[in-house]
């Protein structure tokens, strides 16, 4: 007999018993009449049985509700199952906060910041090729510089581009005497402010995905951002999602973990998503230059984090630009672009919500055995797949980072790809956490 039928049957018994009891109350015998003792015993027995079964029915209803909730979560791809870094189910982690699916027909415009690179065609070709829907991901190209050859390339895409807008102010910007050679950085900041105002205030979008004209994108680029949008909308401790890992060289990443995502206190840029409410906060104080480093200042970051991947979903081919190839030959050209698409859409990402993530990540880091830099470089204690190297000073961090081959610079005290001062990467096939002591509380902005 099914649970539903049992509930119906016992409901009928309860109904019958209630009517019998009501009859005896209404037609209660007079004082000189006696109720047979065997009938009283039967009624008392029936009352006990009804009460017991009512308790059982309540338990059955609770169980049915639980099964229904589990089924709904399964259908929505929100199972609360958390995997450890080995890809195994981690039963020790309890997901306490969950994600809600984005409501309605989600539209995320892609803003392409362009200037004088005809090679913007390479970026646009990949955006058009990999986007799942023109409606869901309309492309907006904003061009500065007035470069005719680049403009001709952009116009050749016709209606594949939803909006082609051009920065009207191409004038030089007054800069301090020692910044004359840095005029380009001022123009970039001015262009960003104008273009973002167009997206949010003129076109009326609620979010934006920003790329520049020298970026390649991974095949799962759009799926990654679509799936992480609810994180940005529901977790106020996040302010961006980025496609970039500053330590994303092939030998520094677990190339088998296309699914692995992190929180980071460092603003990565290079293919990133933000919401309109953040722009409303930033626009009135937008800087005259060096906007990306300005974003990394505590006054803007306000202890908020970004989401970043283990394996980059963008890579740059733009060696020539205002930075004169800074970092490109030494670092950027070695960044690994993901080539194996991962289905984030049907993956539970609630582990990235702050309360869920901090409990798991911090515990994992400080539970791992602590080794010295020399022991890690020599590959000692190879039986440990995850280890920790501890630093206490800025000098120690920079020295250890150089020896281990990761980015050693800090912005307002925050290391690239760092979270709570911890930088996680692969070294000789095992996970290494370069971390401060366990009693760490905050960044020191003087560490720069």
Q: Which residues are catalytic?
A: 292
Angle at which helix 148-155 crosses helix 120-130, to 10 degrees, equals: 20
Determine phi and psi for 126, rounding to 5 degrees: -70, -40
Secondary structure in 3-state letters for the chain: CCHHHHHHHHHHHHHHHHHHHHHHHHCCCCCCCCCCHHHHHHHHHHHHHHHHHHHHHHHHHHHHHHHHHHHHHHHCCCCCCCECCCCCECCCCCCCCCCCCCCCCCCCCEEEEECCCCCHHHHHHHHHHHCCCCCCCCEEEEECCCCHHHHHHHHCCHHHCCEEEECCCCCCCCCCHHHHHHHHHHHHHHHHHHHHHHHHHHCCCCEEEEEECCEEECCCHHHHHHHHHHHHHHCCCEEEEECCCCCCEHHHCCCCCCCCEEEECCCCCCCEEEEHHHHHHHHHHCCCCCHHHHHCCHHHHCCCEEEEECCECEEECCCCCCCCCCCCCCCHHHECECCCCCCCCCCCCHHHCHHHHHHHHHHHHHHCCECCHHHHHCCCCCCCCEEEEECCCHHHHHHHHHHHCCCCCEECCEECCCECCEEEEEECCEEEEEECCCCCCCCCCCCC
Pairing of strands 430-435, 386-390: parallel
Closest CA to 346 of 206, 234, 220: 220
Gap between the Cα atoms of 338 and 315, Å rounded: 9
Determine phi and psi for 360, rounding to 5 degrees: -75, -50
Gap between the Cα atoms of 23 and 231, Å rounded: 60
Gap between the Cα atoms of 207 and 239, Å rounded: 12
């Amino acid at each position: 007999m099914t649970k539903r039928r049992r509930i119906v049957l016992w409901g009928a018994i309860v109904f019958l018993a209630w009517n019998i009891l009501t009859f005896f109350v209404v037609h209660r015998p007079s004082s000189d009449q006696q109720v047979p003792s065997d009938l009283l015993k039967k009624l008392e027995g029936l009352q006990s049985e009804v009460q017991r079964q009512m308790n059982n029915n309540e338990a059955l209803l609770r169980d049915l509700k639980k099964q229904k909730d589990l089924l709904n979560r399964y259908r929505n791809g929100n199972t609360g199952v958390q995997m450890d870094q080995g890809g195994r189910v981690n039963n020790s982690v309890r997901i306490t906060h969950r994600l809600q699916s984005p409501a309605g027909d989600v539209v995320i415009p892609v803003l392409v910041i362009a200037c004088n690179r005809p090679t913007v065609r390479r970026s646009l070709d990949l955006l058009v090729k990999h986007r799942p829907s023109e409606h869901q991901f309309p492309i907006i190209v904003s061009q500065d510089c007035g470069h005719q050859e680049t403009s001709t390339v952009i116009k050749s895409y016709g209606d594949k581009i939803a909006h082609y807008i051009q920065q009207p102010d191409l004038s030089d910007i007054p800069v301090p005497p020692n910044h004359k050679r840095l005029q380009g950085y001022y123009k970039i900041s001015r262009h960003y402010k104008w273009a973002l105002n167009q997206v949010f205030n003129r076109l009326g979008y609620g979010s934006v995905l920003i790329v520049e004209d020298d970026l390649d994108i991974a095949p799962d680029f759009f799926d990654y951002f679509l799936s992480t949008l609810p994180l940005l909308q529901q977790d106020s401790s996040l302010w961006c999602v980025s496609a970039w890992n500053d330590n994303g060289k092939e030998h520094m990443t677990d190339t088998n973990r296309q699914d692995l995502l992190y929180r980071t206190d460092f603003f990565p840029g290079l293919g990133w998503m933000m919401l309109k409410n953040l722009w409303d906060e930033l626009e009135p104080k937008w800087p005259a230059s060096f906007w990306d480093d300005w974003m990394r200042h505590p006054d803007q970051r306000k202890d908020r984090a970004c989401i970043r991947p283990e394996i980059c979903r963008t890579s740059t081919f733009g060696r020539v630009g205002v930075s004169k190839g800074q970092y490109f030959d030494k670092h950027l050209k070695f960044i690994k672009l993901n080539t194996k698409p991962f289905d984030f859409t049907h993956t539970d990402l609630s582990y990235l919500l702050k309360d869920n993530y901090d409990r798991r990540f911090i515990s994992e880091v400080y539970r791992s055995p602590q080794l010295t830099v020399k022991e890690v470089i020599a590959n000692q204690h190879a039986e440990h797949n995850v280890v920790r190297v501890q630093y206490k000073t800025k000098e120690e961090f920079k020295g250890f980072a150089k020896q281990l081959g990761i980015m050693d610079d800090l912005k307002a005290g925050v290391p690239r790809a760092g979270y709570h001062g911890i930088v996680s990467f692969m070294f000789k096939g095992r996970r290494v956490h370069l971390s401060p002591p366990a009693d760490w509380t905050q960044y020191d902005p003087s560490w720069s």
